[in-house]
């Protein structure tokens, strides 16, 4: 669980080397600046920040919610199986950061979480200086009102669970 009422220091960022973060905003807006752009995360939205992506959070009011950290694998959409192509969370409804960068010299501090310990390093300029990016490894958000629940829950339901927005597949059987 998280609760905050002030932003991270202006010339700072954080990244997690241990795993991905799934942030569930319950109250207040999180203005998240990442290496690849900005995301505003509102209540009833979820946000995933993958392992190694540097970010900073700004708030203008009291905020609270939940953070789930996974240490193996990445959050993905579940295989839809018998549900078909139009159930649960649709790929088209996920949002990625709006491109944004800053080019300025400053004393910048980065905090890193690695093997459950915290480390810091200094830069002489902002790390939010990526002008363009390409690929499929980026933070994203999803508004839970767009979720389409399927099926019956009278006594059983087919896989995946009809309440699964994102999943983290395990390499362990069963």
CA distances, 55 to each of 6, 16, 72, 93, 162 (Å): 15, 10, 20, 22, 32
What residues contact residue 155 under an 8 Å CB cut-off, 6+ apart? none
Residue 40, pLDDT above cutoff 80: yes
Report the distance separating Cα 29 and Cα 44, nearest Å.
Answer: 10
Report the distance separating Cα 88 and Cα 77, nearest Å.
Answer: 9
What is the model's pLDDT at position 135?
83
The CATH architecture one would assign to domain 2-146 is Sandwich (2.60)
Domain assignments of the chain as residue spans, ordered by start: 2-146
157 pLDDT band (50/70/90 cuts)? Answer: low
What is the model's pLDDT at position 84?
66
Residue 99, pLDDT above cutoff 90: no
Residue 156, pLDDT above cutoff 80: no
What is the model's pLDDT at position 100?
87
Quick one: average pLDDT of 78-90? 74
Residue 152, pLDDT above cutoff 80: no
Most confident stretch, 64-78, 83-97, 140-154: 64-78
């Amino acid at each position: 669980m998280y609760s905050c009422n002030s932003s991270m220091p202006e010339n700072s960022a954080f990244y997690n080397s241990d795993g991905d973060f799934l942030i569930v905003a319950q109250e207040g807006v999180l203005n998240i600046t990442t290496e690849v752009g900005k995301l505003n995360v509102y209540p009833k939205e979820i946000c995933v920040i993958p392992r190694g992506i540097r970010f900073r959070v700004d708030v203008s009011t009291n905020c609270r919610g939940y953070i789930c950290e996974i240490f193996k694998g990445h959050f993905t959409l579940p295989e839809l199986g018998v549900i078909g192509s139009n159930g649960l969370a649709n790929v088209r409804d996920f949002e990625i950061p709006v491109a944004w960068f800053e080019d300025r010299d400053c004393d910048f501090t980065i905090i890193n979480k690695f093997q459950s310990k915290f480390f810091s390093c200094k830069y002489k300029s902002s790390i939010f200086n990526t002008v363009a990016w390409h690929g499929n490894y980026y933070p994203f958000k999803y508004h839970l009102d767009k979720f389409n629940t399927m099926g019956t829950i009278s006594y059983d339901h087919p896989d995946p669970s009809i309440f699964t927005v994102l999943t983290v597949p395990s390499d362990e059987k069963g």
